[in-house]
Structure 1
Amino acid sequence: MYKAINIFVLLLVFAPLNTAFATESAETVFNQGIDYLYEGEWEKAGTSFKKAIEIDPNFQKAHEYYQNVEFFFFERKEEILTEYRERIKKDPQNAVLYVLLARILDRNSDERIELLEQAIAVDSTFTPAYTQLLFAYHQNYEKAQDIFSKGLKNQPHSIELLMAQAGLFAFKGEPERAQDLSREIITSYPDSIDACGAYRALASSEEEDEKRIELLEKTMTLMEQTDFAFSDVYSNLYILYEKTNPQKAVALAQKVTQIRPPFYDRRAPLFAYQFLYDHWIKTDTTKAIDVAIQALNSNSRDFNIYSYLGFQLIQIEREIPLAIQLLNKAKKFSNPGQLWGRTHGSDYPRSQSEYSKTSEELDAYYESLLGRAEFVKKDYTEAIQHLSSAVGKMGEPALDAEGYFWLGRAYEKIEKWDNAMVAYANSLAEREDKNVRKFAERLGSQITGLKTSVPEKKVIHIDELIAEVQIKKSMPAPDFQAETLEGKKVSLSDYQGKVLILDFWATWCGPCLAELPYFQELVNLYKNDPSVAFLTISQDRSKDVARKFIEQKGYTFPVIFDTGIGQLFEVEGIPLLIVIDKEGKIRYKHFGFDPNNVDFVRLMKKEIQIVLMK
């Protein structure tokens, strides 16, 4: 599995946007709102942010937090869009307002780009509009470079643009230029937040551990001086310290569990608890459990801490009552507002809502973990109750597959063989897994002679049962139009009456590169079969990158460039393989690639054969 977040995007997401100085009273009211967020007083937080805006209408950070609270905590998206459109009508010469409206629109929408261009037309020196446009065009290097030229012409000493340019160089594959620019920023602005980011960027490109530690420690010092935070700085230091001085790593992690990080980056304590648990579980289980107890007694509102530790205890089948307490605490704090914290409070509410889980999905996930905890306790009836309420609702095939598997295990324990087989079939329909298949086939062989209520053909032919599950779940595939790298126009309707296998991939995705040779093998197997077709969708930043890669590898499958197709198919990570039947319905989806867990070609041949027969 691979979800891409490149350094260029990160620099733009976390770049400070507030260029207007707030009055002291507005700052005070704003900080009170931050306190309310930590305390879970969402309504009071929103009121404070709105009051700060009334005191200083150009206090951009207050606007951003106000929007996020309204958008996430109360789901008032349409009201917020209307409010900011009205603000622009009343004050059309205020560039800040255009950027504020743009940030809550879809990142690829034409309206968003138009608003940012309007902001620049109103104020050609307004840096946030340029950085937001750069984010919108980060896959179009030429367009992004043109925006840079305009921005730097109007703001030649803008540190925000320099940082964004360093990110663009890194994204383009020019690390030396990115590093030179980072050093220039450190020299020119040695005590700034941006120098903090520059040190971090240099550390990420440094190969020698000692030099990396030196750069990360400088980053950490500046973080403390500027009240800024990059949680990955701590995480990288844990790893580096542990190689030569484990006690130093543990001491730093213990310190970080006590800090209150900025609200936009709340992962630091989470990573600290994760490190401490993972460190001690190798040598001292008692100390690892003590970490879980410490977390339970902490005042952190980050539900990820509790869910992670609860899950780990279930995995080792120790301290299950403690695990249940941790999971119940996680449920208490998992709400839309906490989802904002989970995604680090970045500046793109719409993208967060797309990539984060909903509250309902999180509740289902916790129910599944509670079901597993009850299974370990051997309370199988209680386990079934929790798992039955969770499966199919967790928002990720891998999680639902795991839930169905444990549901099948629980049904087996109480000798409900038919329910167990259906649960295993549902698990395998979500995700192929050697271990689950082993349980299903073993049970099938076992109950053939028991004359249960399961029809024998469904017991022996688990794949037919899986196919029946898939048919019930199948949805029409969205239509699309695109061009192959050779310029041939294609659409979904061209494949009517054929089984179509789609594969979403990119050259920067390691699991994708591992999968593609197997995909080519599959293409070769069916090259003379007119009833089966293959099409891959590149998510690279340019057609040239994809074309060069395909030519170098000698792959023969057709490739189209993703111009919104991924959104149509709700692609959240790659590689993603989709099997579409002859009627245009999605029958199978496979996210990720693990050659150790799945015989890819064998599995795909089996699924293609099943779909061809239906």
Structure 2
Amino acid sequence: MSDRSRHSALRVGLLLLFVSCGASLGACGDGGPAPDYTVEELEAAKAQLRDHARLRTFEAGKLFGDEWVARAPDDAELRGLYAYQLVGWGLSNEIREQADAILADDPDNPWGLYARAYAHLVDGDAKLAHETVREAWEASPQPEFAFLYLRALASSDFEAARAFLESLDEEIRAWPEVLRMQAELESAASYELDDPTWADSSRATWAEFKEQFPNHVLGHTRLANEAYNARRMDEWTQLMEAALELAPGSLEVRSQHWRGLWMSELLPSEERLPAVEASMAAYREASPETVEGMQGVASMYRQMEDEERAAELEARIVESDPGSYHASLVYMEEMRRVSRELYEIREEHGADSPEYRAQLEVVRDAAYGFLERPLYNDRFKGGVYIDLFRALEATDPVPAEELAEAIRGLVKYERLNPHITFGDAPLAMIDHTPYALEAADIVREGTHHTLENLRDVRSFFDTEGEWDQMLRGTLSGIYDRIGWAYFKAGRTEDGRHTLERALAIAERNRDVRYHLGQLYEHLADEAEEEGDAEAVTEWLDQAEDSYIAGFGASRGENPNETALEALYERRNGGREGIEEYLATLDERDRIRRRERILESRVEAAGTYEPFQLARLDGEMVDSADLEGKIAVLHFWGTWCGPCIVEMPEYQKFDERYRDDAEVAVLSISNDRANDIIDEYLAKNDFDFTVLVDEGYVERVGVNAWPTTWFVDRDGYVQFVKIGTALKLDEEFSWRVEAIREESSSP
């Protein structure tokens, strides 16, 4: 045992001596008041806090902990166990208060370090959390600390978490929360290691968990979640009933129950609301009324689109404590609603509509209103500054000073979306404010965060080539924004050299091509002022080449196309002949895209895992029936924004091959309920074939949407397309015809 551990043990011993002395004699040593509890009662209180954690009844657990911490404020273990109840409420400030109270007299106390680590974790700093709890573990290796160490490591360093788990002895590994982390790490391994068999291991571990700890609610709820995803609703019902019997007053369990009743096809639609409300009533009866509980019920009412009852509960939360964490959640929900309305108005009326312009002002006012509230902490400010920035950027004219201040707030508070904080935002500052060099500084200072975020998603890239492409694109973007800032600030040569460096890193970066074209046109203007006609022609030629290289590089509006048209008019004195000119360029781009796509064929083609999946009408489709055909398997979901964008083109592609006996086009939806898919298809007049995912996506390790496999007649995947296509119908058909041509060759 280390000296620190011995000192901690000595303190605990002295505390127990004090408690025993007070309980039996009425006073101790300095004549202080005797505690109003016995040692046995204190230990029973700790056991009860552990029971609340086991049952996930954090609402009652916090109230119980409030009482006992007031009675036994000097017991570090009690405070640590109470801190875990606060984790269930998301109360990082109060968790930190518990840590500070423990560590004030004993800076090395393991329970104090444990509580402080949880505060870091709730605040979203997993790295600092695992560094802090490691000290607690090294001082006192006990299961609670091992669990938190694993939980924090799993969020920041998957391999280190696995190694730590393997290092634990059998006694620690048999503790329920540590076994829980084994199951969660196995589930993560199916993605991190691109091996779907780990998902089976995770399910097996959860089954073992439930068998070994039948009174621990997580064994039931995690298996119920797996059953729900696989549409095994009878199994889900049995598991949820067992969980509710154990913990009728757990908001966590109840929320899972409510969502299952409401969203599944377990009940007819007319019976869902009464079933959810009956479960809500049972929850209120079993649990004390708390703001945590009111928040959970309000959230469910919002999901059921009962805005009135949700608003009533949220008003009570705010009235009870306007500066509380849960009141801040209410303010944040208000902000999210106006932002969602902005998106819906844009989809319905367009970005140029009066309705959209009016809603921009609503979002702007709501953001300022939120920032003036008595907020619990700064946690949500970053997201609000994103909404404010987007609204101001879309305002016409852009309010330069206001936008600059919003971006400064964004830089101060937002780290979850570095592509916005250190990408889109400084670019807007360059384009719309006089603070271009300040924007360049923001980009430089954010480089570390940008690259760290990129490192965190490394596992999403299957090949080194894909990873290299993403890395080059990111680095090119950093140089692009800095170079553009130099140019806009009048440092033309610095801008040119930096932009050309960005181009050298990623030559297909359309933004770099556009910015360089603009810079070359500026140099042409300067040459024209100097009367150097030859230099004017040279710079305009370079601008034209730059725009052409960036032409057709991505979906949606492309600034190179607009700039190229303007340059054509400049050089030709009007638009006569421009359609023929652009058509020539479009065909050139089409040839280049086709060459790149055909070069993307899988180097070592392999077969895919067989499946038997149901269509929406219940008819089964067996992958064995695809033998001898060219198959296109398209993984998507209505929840996937990029998938939805390309669905009209996917419908055209499906129609192209619908009557082709040699080609089978199938989509596999990852949605949770069939009625969601049916409603989407009907709304958009789509009739392509949809298979319902029954865990197949998880088994084969598809973790990016959309993903499309192009399979030859022998069942080998010859092309894989991840993400949206620029022109889906055209580009998908190139792959199909390439496979057909190869299989037809002698």
> Same fold by TM-score, threshold 0.5 exceeded?
yes
Call closer, same or farther: CA 1:473–1:166 in 2, change over 3 Å.
farther
Counterpart residue number, 1:450: none
1:206-605 to structure 2, matched below 5 A, reads 206=338, 207=341, 208=359, 212-213=363-364, 215-221=366-372, 224-240=375-391, 243=395, 246-258=400-412, 266-267=415-416, 271-274=420-423, 276-283=425-432, 287-296=435-444, 298=445, 302-304=448-450, 330=451, 339=456, 365-367=470-472, 467=598, 469-509=600-640, 511-551=642-682, 553-593=684-724, 597-598=726-727, 600-605=728-733
**Structure number with higher helix proportion:** 2
Distance in 1 separating the partners of 2:464 and 2:720: 24
Distance in 2 separating the partners of 1:191 and 1:135: 29
SS of corresponding position for 1:579:
strand
Distance in 2 separating the partners of 1:516 and 1:76: 41
Distance in 2 separating the partners of 1:283 and 1:382: 22
Letter in 2 for 1:48: T
Counterpart residue number, 2:319: 187
The Cα shift of 1:34 comes to 8.4
Distance in 2 separating the partners of 1:607 and 1:357: 20
Q: 1:106 aligns with which of 187, 201, 211?
A: 187
| Contact in 1 for aligned 2:91/2:325 (Cα 8 Å) | no
The Cα shift of 1:484 comes to 1.0
The Cα shift of 1:101 comes to 6.0
Counterpart residue number, 2:738: 610
RMSD: 5.5
The Cα shift of 1:192 comes to 1.6
The Cα shift of 1:483 comes to 0.9
TM-score by length of 1: 0.61
The Cα shift of 1:555 comes to 3.8
| Contact in 1 for aligned 2:427/2:439 (Cα 8 Å) | no
The number of residue pairs the alignment matches comes to 489
| Contact in 2 for aligned 1:138/1:168 (Cα 8 Å) | no
| Contact in 2 for aligned 1:497/1:582 (Cα 8 Å) | yes
Counterpart residue number, 1:24: 102
| Contact in 2 for aligned 1:223/1:229 (Cα 8 Å) | no
Bigger relative contact order, structure 1 or 2 (CA pairs below 8 A, ≥6 apart):
1
SS of corresponding position for 2:471:
helix
SS of corresponding position for 1:475:
coil
Distance in 2 separating the partners of 1:534 and 1:358: 26
The Cα shift of 1:288 comes to 2.1
| Contact in 2 for aligned 1:273/1:295 (Cα 8 Å) | yes
| Contact in 1 for aligned 2:301/2:309 (Cα 8 Å) | yes
Counterpart residue number, 1:48: 132
SS of corresponding position for 1:282:
helix
Distance in 1 separating the partners of 2:411 and 2:367: 19
SS of corresponding position for 1:477:
coil
The Cα shift of 1:503 comes to 2.4
The Cα shift of 1:462 comes to 8.7
SS of corresponding position for 1:292:
helix
Distance in 2 separating the partners of 1:552 and 1:35: 45
The Cα shift of 1:495 comes to 0.7
Note the alpha carbon deviations across 1:505-562, whole angstroms, 9 max, x for none: 3334455445334333333333332211121222323112212433455544322112
SS of corresponding position for 1:545:
helix
| Contact in 2 for aligned 1:499/1:612 (Cα 8 Å) | yes
- Structure 2 stretches lacking a partner, 5+ long: 1-86, 104-110, 189-198, 211-216, 222-242, 268-274, 342-358, 484-495, 513-548, 562-582
Counterpart residue number, 1:155: 287
Distance in 2 separating the partners of 1:86 and 1:98: 11
Counterpart residue number, 1:316: none
Counterpart residue number, 2:515: none
Call closer, same or farther: CA 1:154–1:81 in 2, change over 3 Å.
farther
- Structure 1 stretches lacking a partner, 5+ long: 1-12, 305-329, 340-351, 389-397, 403-423, 445-459
| Contact in 2 for aligned 1:476/1:586 (Cα 8 Å) | yes
The Cα shift of 1:117 comes to 4.0
Note the alpha carbon deviations across 1:173-195, whole angstroms, 9 max, x for none: 55555545434433344322121
| Contact in 1 for aligned 2:627/2:715 (Cα 8 Å) | yes
Distance in 2 separating the partners of 1:363 and 1:605: 27
The Cα shift of 1:84 comes to 10
Call closer, same or farther: CA 1:478–1:77 in 2, change over 3 Å.
farther
